[in-house]
Structure 1
Amino acid sequence: MSYKTILAVLQSKADAGRVLDCALPLATRFSAHLIGVHAEAIPIPYVTPMGFPDTDFIAASAEMNQQRSAEIKALFDARAAREGVSYEWQAMENVSGDSAVSALVAARASDLIVVQQSDADGKSGSLANVETLLFESGRPVLFVPYAVSVQTSFRRVMVAWNGTQQAARATFDALPFIREAEQTEILSLDATDSYEQDGAVAGVDIAAALARHGAKVTFASEVTGDLGAGEAIENRIAETEADLLVMGAYSQSWLKEFFFGGATRTLLRSMPVATLMSR
């Protein structure tokens, strides 16, 4: 397995550079075709006090949208050409103007989607509805933190494992990264005995399966105690210096819940490292 079609979702000039800093090296590394997607909103008709459409306003808005799209395209084309990768550009115009939602068709035909993490404070200028990509594309999404630089070598991978379908999907979707990593840790939190597993050895099976692919795997089991799952994972990332987190996702509505019965939003807000998620 390899990533042969990578989709880069570029919402604005503010996030385009950071997304391309991640997507372009990956396209080169995997000899993949890179697709850049950007959408602009259709200008909303504005009515003057006299009740007539303000055609000047509509025309000015359309011109601004076209200029913004052209600038992002120029950035994408220049950088992709400089890297020498196979690439194409898709520009769209619709009511939402949301590049993430607009990218769904292309996303479903891609091996990997690269998009910037949502900035709750709006400092990045990105307004993409990125959870739509995760829950409706059926493809793995690699989130690029908006406040942390990403080194795409991904030498140390951490897999947040709880034995669910979503965790399994994410783990095997990340296999190209896991096989190349210097170390992959399977992290099991608060594992309990059930009819499906023995809590004491939860995660051992997936560690063995990855090792058969040539991955260098270690295993860790922790009890969160008073910490939420998100905080516990953050602490473990800091301890191990992991540079890629792999995790399954479930539920909807702003990614309220992930795994282990529903982790807090702490990890989404901070996102200390690049994070690959699948559903």
Structure 2
Amino acid sequence: MKIKDISVCMASPDGDKAAFDFAKMLAVANDAHLSCAAFTVLPPMILGYGDGSAGEVYASILQQTRDTMSGAWKKFEDSVDQQSPAIEMRHFEAFPNRVESLSAMNARHADIVVVRAPGKSDEQPHADLLEGVLLGGGRPVLIVPEEWSGTTVGQRAMIAWDASREATRALHDSLLLMNDDAKVCVATVDAKPGDTSHGAGPAWDVGAHLSRHVGDVEVRNEDSIGRSTAEALMDVATSFDADLIVMGGYRHSRLQQAFLPGVTRTLLREAKVPLLLSH
């Protein structure tokens, strides 16, 4: 299957420009339809006591947010109207607790969804956009680092392989982004041979499988040697000069992730190249 329908989820026209520019580039390269899910995230309700002025203050903040974002999205929409290809705008206004469900609904109508990576200082609402698409949308999500300005993706891809269902799904979704001559590195960290996980040789079988789809595949079984799994994977991606990291997303519950940051969460904040996640 080819990419023919792309959606980019944005929380602001300026902060998410890298994600939009990449989604547009991907749409042009694949002659695909591009839609933009433009979110206006409203401030949470203020609860107060005393003279009852909290309601008036909140109403003022709410209206100011709507006016500011309406103007920003209007300016953005006017600019994209002058561009090619045509871009379908989908506007969503939501309180924070609705962002995840709305982004999931939007994702179900695309082949792939592009989201800007959550920043270290502004996790919300991008974490909610991402988790909605990934956990509720059933679609692969391509996460673009805020400062990324590359022009290619999928020509040199690193597959983070842990023999899980999520990793298998991500691997096959990533084929949407690769040409027949793509170079791929399948990386494991501290993998051990096993009957029901990696098989006789970690990543050997999946490497052979991938070689039937793309031009050049190598397998790297990395020892962590005191590094975290995420650090080891980023070192492999750097040495391979990868333009894409592919991995299964969020194997633990979100509650566990909050207290025990895992590989997915670390790579989202530290990776210098786009990530393709599937769940």
> Which region of structure 1 is more displaced relative to structure 2, 246-255 or 2-11?
246-255
CA contact (8 A) 2:163 2:198 kept: no
The CA distance in 2 between the partners of 1:103 and 1:264, in whole Å, is 19
CA contact (8 A) 2:180 2:213 kept: no
The CA distance in 2 between the partners of 1:96 and 1:132, in whole Å, is 12
Deviations 1:209-246 (A, max 9, x none): 22222432111111112111100011111111111000
How far residue 44 of structure 1 moved from its aligned partner, in angstroms, is 6.9
Partner of 1:195: 195
Match runs of 1:31-50 below 5 Å: 31-42=31-42, 49=51
> Which region of structure 1 is more displaced relative to structure 2, 214-223 or 139-148?
214-223
SS in structure 2 opposite 1:158?
strand
Match runs of 1:4-15 below 5 Å: 4-15=4-15
SS in structure 2 opposite 1:103?
helix
Runs of at least 5 residues in structure 2 that lack an aligned partner in the other structure = none
Match runs of 1:1-279 below 5 Å: 1-42=1-42, 49=51, 54=56, 57=60, 59-78=63-82, 82=83, 84-96=84-96, 101-122=101-122, 127-128=125-126, 129=128, 130-180=130-180, 182-197=182-197, 201-249=201-249, 250-253=251-254, 256=257, 262-263=262-263, 265-279=265-279
SS in structure 2 opposite 1:106?
helix
SS in structure 1 opposite 2:235?
helix
The CA distance in 1 between the partners of 2:264 and 2:278, in whole Å, is 18
**Amino acid corresponding to residue 69 of structure 1 in structure 2:** W
> Which region of structure 1 is more displaced relative to structure 2, 110-119 or 209-218?
209-218
How far residue 59 of structure 1 moved from its aligned partner, in angstroms, is 4.4
How many residues align structurally?
Answer: 270
How far residue 49 of structure 1 moved from its aligned partner, in angstroms, is 4.4
The CA distance in 1 between the partners of 2:4 and 2:15, in whole Å, is 23
How far residue 136 of structure 1 moved from its aligned partner, in angstroms, is 1.5
The CA distance in 2 between the partners of 1:276 and 1:161, in whole Å, is 13
Structure 2 length-normalised TM = 0.84
How far residue 64 of structure 1 moved from its aligned partner, in angstroms, is 2.5
SS in structure 2 opposite 1:218?
strand
How far residue 39 of structure 1 moved from its aligned partner, in angstroms, is 1.8
Structure 1 length-normalised TM = 0.84
CA contact (8 A) 2:170 2:247 kept: yes
The CA distance in 1 between the partners of 2:53 and 2:121, in whole Å, is 37
SS in structure 1 opposite 2:68?
helix
**Judging changes above 3 Å, is the alpha-carbon distance between structure 1 residues 102 and 66 closer, same or farther for their aligned structure 2 residues?**
same
> Which region of structure 1 is more displaced relative to structure 2, 91-100 or 31-40?
91-100
The CA distance in 1 between the partners of 2:92 and 2:198, in whole Å, is 50
How far residue 277 of structure 1 moved from its aligned partner, in angstroms, is 0.5
The CA distance in 1 between the partners of 2:159 and 2:242, in whole Å, is 10
| Structure 1 segments (4+ residues) deviating >6 Å | 43-48
SS in structure 1 opposite 2:193?
coil
The CA distance in 2 between the partners of 1:159 and 1:52, in whole Å, is 51
